[in-house]
Each structure stands twice: as structure tokens, then as C-alpha cells.
Amino acid sequence: MRTVVITGAASGIGRALAERLRNEGDRVITVDLHDADVTVDLSTAEGRSALVEQVAELSGGTIDAVVANAGLIRPEPVTVAVNYFGAIATLEGLRPLLERSSAPRAVLTTSLAAVMDVYEDLVESCLAGDEEEALAIAEKYSGGENIGNNLYASTKAAEARWVRLNAPNPEWAGAGIALNAVGPGIVETPMVADSIADDASRASTA
């Protein structure tokens, strides 16, 4: 039986994946703001530390897979804190537990939005690991018509680039841990309910 950690597992894609893996016989440790085995806020340093501590305790110290999936699409800095820094902290924080598995796997849910227009300065500060600067840049771009999607797309592009940059490294491939990203198109979940609510919204999203 494999032990799989899924963040953002109280809703949408994460919840569906948790159900599927449980049905297939895996042990799933769910992580979310609510309704999860590990209830933490991945936008904060405290929440990210608590994630690692609690998963270590619940799993007994070894996990076989991590799905860094928690995310949101609000045109505010918190989207950068959760989507990029929360996801990277999840992967890096749980990596030592993965290393003990005989067949470890890690995956990050990025998005088709990664190929859309992005704020390059925001993407660069994410990849530099400078959360303070990234949040300040995100604050600058917050609000305003149609700006939210560029902010979201920037977090998803940064995630995708982080995976490409890191997957071949000694810590991941070198340690036998396959690190991948998936980039879904539109999936009908609460996250996108507003953007596919009517024909006009669907047309502008397509």
C-alpha cells in the first residue's frame, strides 16, 4: 500500500484524486484549510512547517508520493503565496520523507495558464525564492480588470519552470524521485465556477 499526500484535497481536482486513489487501495493523507487530515494554511510559514511535522507524524516518516495541488485564482498576493511558495514548500519540505520510499513520486498541478501572458518580474522573483519581493510585486498588480488571470498565470508559469529547473537535479532525479508537473485545461471545479457560469464567460475563457 502506497502513502500519498495531496494538498488542496477538500475540493475539486484534489478531492477527486484522493477518492480515486483510496478506491484503488492507497493510503491518502489529505491537506487543506478545512476538512482534511492535516488542516494548515499553506500561505504561511507556520502552516508550511506544520504540514511537514504533521505528515511526518501521520505517515510514520515515509511517504511514497506527493501531489502539490492546493491553489486559488484570486487577483491578490495570497495567490502567489499559496500557488507558488506553498507548493514549493510542500515539495521541498516533504522530500526527505519521499527519499525513504522505494518508488517515490512527486507532482505539481500547474495549468494550461502557464503559457498565457505573465508578469516576468513576478515569475523571476518567485524563481529566485524571494517571497517578500514576489508578494510586493503581486500587490502592485492586484485588482483591476482582467489582471487576476495574469497574476494566476504567472504563478503557474513559475511552478512549471521550477519543475523543469529542479527535476533533473541531485535532490530529485539524482535521489530517484520522479518530479513532474501536470497542466490541466479547464476542469469543472469550484475554482472556475464563475468563469464558466454562462456562455459569455465560457467564450472569454476558451
Ligand X SMILES: NC(=O)c1ccc[n+]([C@@H]2O[C@H](COP(=O)([O-])OP(=O)(O)OC[C@H]3O[C@@H](n4cnc5c(N)ncnc54)[C@H](O)[C@@H]3O)[C@@H](O)[C@H]2O)c1
Kindly tell me which residue out of 147, 173, 187, 197 binds ligand X, with binding defined by CB under 6 A.
187
Cβ closer to ligand X: 176 or 180?
180
Q: Residues of 154-180 as b/e, b for ≥16 C-beta within 10 angstroms?
A: bbbbbbbbbbeebbeeeebeeeebebe
Total of chain residues touching ligand X, rule CB under 6 A? 25
Binding mask 40-69 for ligand X (x = CB under 6 A): -xxx-------------------------x
- Beta partners for residue 109, in sequence order: 182
For residues 164, 165, 167 and 169, what is the CA-based torsion angle, rounded to 10 degrees?
Answer: 160
6 close to 30: Cβ distance less than 8 angstroms: yes
Closest-CA residue to 81 (of 147, 148, 155, 29) = 155
- Measured from each CB, the residue nearest to ligand X is 12
Main-chain dihedrals φ then ψ at residue 68, nearest 5 degrees: -85, 100
Cβ closer to ligand X: 8 or 104?
8
* 56: its cell numbers: 511526518
Q: Does 131 bind ligand X (CB under 6 A)?
A: no
Q: Is 119 a catalytic residue?
A: no
Contacts 24+ apart (CB under 8 A), 54-57: 55/5, 55/29, 55/31, 55/94, 55/97, 56/97
Kindly tell me which residue out of 4, 8, 30, 97 binds ligand X, with binding defined by CB under 6 A.
8
Cβ closer to ligand X: 38 or 63?
38
141 close to 122: Cβ distance less than 8 angstroms: yes
Binding mask 68-107 for ligand X (x = CB under 6 A): -xxxx---------x-------------------------
Find the part of the chain contacting ligand X (CB under 6 A) among 36-44, 89-97, 139-147, 164-172.
36-44
Which residues contact ligand X by CB under 6 A? 8, 10-14, 32-33, 41-43, 69-72, 82, 109, 111, 184, 186-187, 189-192
* Residues with a known catalytic role: 152
